[in-house]
Amino acid sequence: MKIDEKILRVTMPDGSKWDVPVRKIAEHRARYYMKHDPELGTFEKSYDEDTIPLFESDDYEIEDWAANNMNWKDIVAFARKVESHPMTDADFQEGWINGDKEIVEEK
């Protein structure tokens, strides 16, 4: 599945489900490595030659990067709620890190 077709679906502690475009997670990773790996000196090189092949070949890498290198506040603007639950006051940062995650195809 191509990167633009992938969505990371996260289940939050309140049971709600949120879809995040994997492309946004990939951009975050590419910006990080652009700054920290001299061989990947440009965003385009980091994104096209490093992050895209990794994320297209291994869904675990997407989930791992998101949970261990990003915060909910980094991605909430791009997230879309796809399932609601009545519970409120959930810790979405905790859900972002430890919630159930799956890669689904964008429809």
pLDDT at 86 > cutoff 80 = no
pLDDT at 90 > cutoff 90 = no
Name the pLDDT band for 83 (thresholds 50, 70, 90). Answer: confident
Instruction: Note down the domain range covering 30.
Output: 3-105
Residue 78: count of CB within 10 angstroms of its CB: 14
Which strands form 80-83's sheet, in the order they lie side by side? 80-83, 17-21, 6-11, 101-105
Q: Number of structural domains, the chain? A: 1
pTM: 0.90
Mean pLDDT, residues 71-87 taken together: 90
pLDDT at 58 > cutoff 70 = yes
